[in-house]
Amino acid sequence: MTLSSLLEAAITGLVRFETVMQKEKLPRREREKLRQRQEILTAGLTLFSEKGFHNVSMHEIAEEAEFAIGTLYKFFQNKEDLYRALVLEQCSLFAAAFNEALEQGEDEIEKLRNYVRAQYKMFRSHLPFVRLFIAESRGVSYSIKAGLDQELRARYYRLLEKIASVFESGIRNKRFGNIASPYHLAVSLDSTIHAFLLLCLDEPEKHPFPEDPDTILNIFFQGMLNG
Amino acid sequence: MTLSSLLEAAITGLVRFETVMQKEKLPRREREKLRQRQEILTAGLTLFSEKGFHNVSMHEIAEEAEFAIGTLYKFFQNKEDLYRALVLEQCSLFAAAFNEALEQGEDEIEKLRNYVRAQYKMFRSHLPFVRLFIAESRGVSYSIKAGLDQELRARYYRLLEKIASVFESGIRNKRFGNIASPYHLAVSLDSTIHAFLLLCLDEPEKHPFPEDPDTILNIFFQGMLNG
DNA sequence: ACATATTATGACGCTTAGTTCACTTTTAGA
DNA sequence: TCTAAAAGTGAACTAAGCGTCATAATATGT
């Protein structure tokens, strides 16, 4: 397995990056390179999340990562390439966590609870990336969007389908009432979770994220219409 | 009433811009200036929404608006100032429409229906701005964020409070069950509407926005838990 | 019609930042 | 130890675009 195919796999979301780094027995030099690459990405993440894509220069990233500018260009074709790699890698972590959560759990309700928990957990443990992503995953550059947004959007739709399939299965076996299309329910649940996380990001003490996932889920589980 | 105070009012969202332009009897030259200003803003909106803040130059805006660059600087201190004015003006239109919607309607349910309808209506009639806002309201530049984001966030929180008050009143007079805090319900409803609109923006034929507002509202009105 | 004030213009200066590449340093094998 | 290849470096090149300001055009009042 070559370095580039490993990177490819990591980027595609098949393998977690850490796993790649630890498990595979690459020649020492290759492992070293991979670690350096990672350090550059980390520096980039830090800076991008603090100041935004357009307000961070390659010089800054180089300085933060303690490399010369030229070195960055040994790893990444250009600034966009670096950014793209960074975002895709992080997104893969998120995707893996969410997919896993939706597969764990006895019944549909438990799967959904796990999903809410996973969102919160990833959110908390990856704040810089969350900030970066929320801030400008969509607005960075229309040329980046072309390559990156498409891939990410496709992934997001896949995730929505997966959530929808949980609702669908719950409706099929009568655990849930058939109050709306599974897809609509998925969209609604997911956006609600995000909204709560966003508010929490803004002012954690004013809008704390509910510890109990049912605080959110009950909005969907219990109807509010009387009479 | 001076020009600047009128602009101030328009920006603060107290008066619609068109109203300002038509009703008030300003000296001819002043009205002319206002129209020119508006033309520049429109040019800016078009370009920003197509290419994003950082990929549009002042030269381009000048060309699109058919003015010389220097002229833009007679109206706006700099590029950020222009952008800020643009966003605030558009946001005021949205705020006015949403607030009005939430005030019209016999009961709480009708108010919420009106709100959903208003969101869709504004969305459809202001697509360029929607695109711009979604794409990079947050990621433009951290210096803009400071001034603009704060103001807009405050407005958004006010809107959420207003939606929450509708839920609260509905719960108080027993029309709604007390299944979650009014604020949580507001957050959830609003984010759901946005999510639907967003999907619709991406692929209108695949994710059409539901004509009937109850398609969305029923997710909240009718609980889905059986047994 | 003329003079003066106001407004519009766009070539140019200056800064910033992405990228390159000739050179230095390090590594690895003979 | 020596040498060739690989990796690392950062000064310098280049491009882009913001904002200025001296000048031209236009409007206003006499």
Nearest CA in chain B to A193: B188
Tell me the whole-structure pTM to 2 decimals. 0.86
Is residue B227 one of the residues assigned to a domain? no
User: A150-166 burial string, b = 16+ CB within 10 Å, else e?
Assistant: ebbeebbbebbebbbbb
CA-to-C1' distance for B67 and C13, Å?
22
Q: Convert the pLDDT of each residue in B73-127 to its tens digit.
A: 999 999 999 999 999 999 999 999 999 999 999 999 999 999 999 999 999 999 9
Is residue A169 one of the residues assigned to a domain? yes
B13: left (phi over 0), alpha (psi -120 to 50) or beta: left
CATH number of the domain that B83 lies in?
A: 1.10.357.10
Specify the DSSP class assigned to residue B174. Answer: T
CA-to-C1' distance for B81 and D26, Å?
27
Q: What is the total count of domains within chain A?
A: 1
Q: What is the mean pLDDT of residues B20-45?
A: 81
Q: Convert the pLDDT of each residue in A90-135 to its tens digit.
A: 999 999 999 999 999 999 999 999 999 999 999 999 999 998 887 7
Q: Convert the pLDDT of each residue in A1-42 to its tens digit.
A: 334 444 444 444 444 444 444 445 677 778 899 999 999 999
Dist. CA B153–CA B188, nearest whole Å: 17
Is residue B207 one of the residues assigned to a domain? yes
Residue B129: predicted pLDDT? 94
Dist. CA A65–CA A54, nearest whole Å: 18
Dist. CA A101–CA A55, nearest whole Å: 36
Cβ distance of A215 and B180 shorter than 8 Å: yes
pLDDT at B43 over 70: yes
Is residue A226 one of the residues assigned to a domain? no
Tell whether B129 lies on the interface with A, counting CB pairs under 8 A. no
Q: What is the mean pLDDT of residues A51-79?
A: 96
Is residue B226 one of the residues assigned to a domain? no
Tell whether B201 lies on the interface with A, counting CB pairs under 8 A. no
User: Which nucleotide is nearest to B60 if distance is taken from CA to C1'?
Assistant: D17
Tell me which protein residue sits closest to nucleotide C21, measuring alpha carbon to C1': A70
Dist. CA A62–CA A68, nearest whole Å: 6
The domain containing residue A187 runs over which residues?
Answer: 3-221
Helix (H) / strand (E) element for B149: namely helix B142-172
